[in-house]
Structure 1
Amino acid sequence: MGIDALVFDFDGLLVDTETASLRVWQHLWRGHGLELDVSTFFAPHGGDVIAQRYAGLAAAVGPSFDQEASHASRLAYRDEVHATLELAAGIAGWLDEARDLGLRLAVASSSHRDWVVGHLARVGYLDRFELLACGDEVGTVKPDPAVYLLALDRLGVRAERALAFEDTVHGVVAARAAGLRCVAIPHPHADPAAFTAAERVLTSAAEVSLASLLGLD
């Protein structure tokens, strides 16, 4: 492929915080005797949707809804769930291969830097990435390509010499708009058939070695 750098999305790709988020919000809704509509849960963009999610829960609960208490409950349960999260299947192996192959590694995420840093530090892989480009450093989030363009600028690498990895359709759109080829590993609640713009769609990083994916074996 002629690749010098790999640029990874974070949420749902390196660590499955997407499923964790769904689990946390389902827990919150069930605490009110309600079921969350999973079909509308995941936003078609990388922006912050917390306010909208609370608004939806408030409308479902009615006048008795206490957002302050619900927020405290959500954060407590979220911390409990997040403490169990590790790198997604196969990712650790890919990072080891990338190191051995001399490939540069970066993260391009719509999430804030402290979120990405906190999780990667907790699982012990923060130092594997040369740099991070995050949502609080750009004016627009995915599907806008800004965060990928920032990552490429910081790497000093041309788009055609980098390969992106994404778990959402809007992430693939962002990577392609920045000029990168992109491999998709859809998170468990995404439709793999929707990833038509991806170079390749995998079920997980454990499906194939990185060297094979890059055509190096």
Structure 2
Amino acid sequence: MTDALIFDFDGLLMDTESTLLESWRYEWRQHGLDLAVEGFFADHGGDVNEQRYARLAAAVGVSYDRALSHSRRTAYREKLHAGLEPAPGIRDWIEQAAGLRLAVASSSHVDWVRGNLGRVGLLDAFEVIAGGNEVAGHKPDPAVYRLALERLGIGPEHAVAFEDTPHGVAAAQAAGLRCVAVPNAFTPVTRFATADLVLAGAAGNPLRTVLGKLS
């Protein structure tokens, strides 16, 4: 019996992956450079922005101002977020989840998750939010999913996870959860072979139908 749904945040509930990439593309353009998508996204849930700044610094040379670069990039990303809505179909899923408990298990800081969900009016829908700053290991480490389950007070057999990356799927399954993959735009669908179910998106897929396919 499914009692709870546990969602990844970045790239799943909201497409913050695209705003992240675009903010870095913007910053590279300030130096007359182009940023390639290949290799931009890490195969784990940890923060790799310091490596990204180091890569840009190496490309720019001695004139690179790290503090200015960070300030300009994050300000631009905030402008992008001002109009960012939940991913298509996510509001419908939350409405259709009546009777189920909802949680977030994210590699991002809890303040980031709460702030973005609060801005779009969805924060109160989630009973539990577990963040990467609260655990020692990041996805594919299952620690954040185990924390979410602990806070829900249920075993993994009573919950379903939703993820947009292969390392997220691996983390959920390592915690004993069934996992529905909704691949983000930057990851080939072929990398989600281990997911219990793969969907093109939340839109057009009623939640109860999705859960029924897992039974």
Query: What TM bracket, shorter-length normalisation?
Result: over 0.9
Number of the residue aligned with 2:72: 73
Over the residues paired in the alignment, what is the CA RMSD in angstroms? 0.9
Task: Write the deviation string for residues 64-107 of structure 1: whole angstroms up to 9, x where unpaired.
Answer: 111111111111101101111110000000000002xx001000
1:22 paired to 2:21: yes
- Give the deviation of 1:37 after TM superposition: 1.8
| Residue 162 (structure 1) aligns with | 159
User: What CA distance in whole angstroms lies between the structure 2 residues aligned with 1:118 and 1:145?
Assistant: 24
Aligned twin of 1:13: 12
Counterparts of 1:83-122 in structure 2 under 5 Å?
83-99=82-98, 102-122=99-119
Which residue identity is paired with 1:112?
A: H
Match of 2:20, SS state, is helix
Q: CA deviation at 1:140?
A: 0.8
| Structure 1 gap ranges (5+) | none
Structure 2 residue runs of 5 or longer lacking an equivalent are none
* Aligned pairs for 1:1-217 within 5 A: 2-99=1-98, 102-215=99-212
How many Å apart are 1:128 and its aligned residue? 0.1
1:28-80 deviation per Cα after TM superposition (whole angstroms, max 9, x unaligned): 00111111121110000110111000000001111111111111111110110
TM superposition shift of 1:161: 1.0
Q: Distance in 2 between matches of 1:176 and 1:207?
A: 25
Distance 2:121 2:109 in 1: 19
* Cα separation, 1, equivalents of 2:167 and 2:33: 29
Determine the C-alpha separation between the residues in 2 that align with 1:159 and 1:45. Answer: 22
**1:186 Cα shift?**
0.8
Q: CA deviation at 1:24?
A: 0.5
Q: Per-residue deviation at 1:194?
A: 0.3
Aligned positions, number: 213
Measured in 2, the distance between the counterparts of 1:167 and 1:20 equals: 15
Q: CA deviation at 1:207?
A: 3.1
Q: Which amino acid aligns with 2:202?
A: A
Paired residue type of 1:103: L
**1:53 & 1:186 partners in 2: Cα distance?**
23
Matched AA of 2:43:
P
Q: Distance in 1 between matches of 2:130 and 2:143?
A: 9
2:106 and 2:182 mapped to 1: Cα distance? Answer: 15
Q: Which runs of 4+ in 1 moved over 2 A?
A: none
* TM-score, reference length from structure 2: 0.97
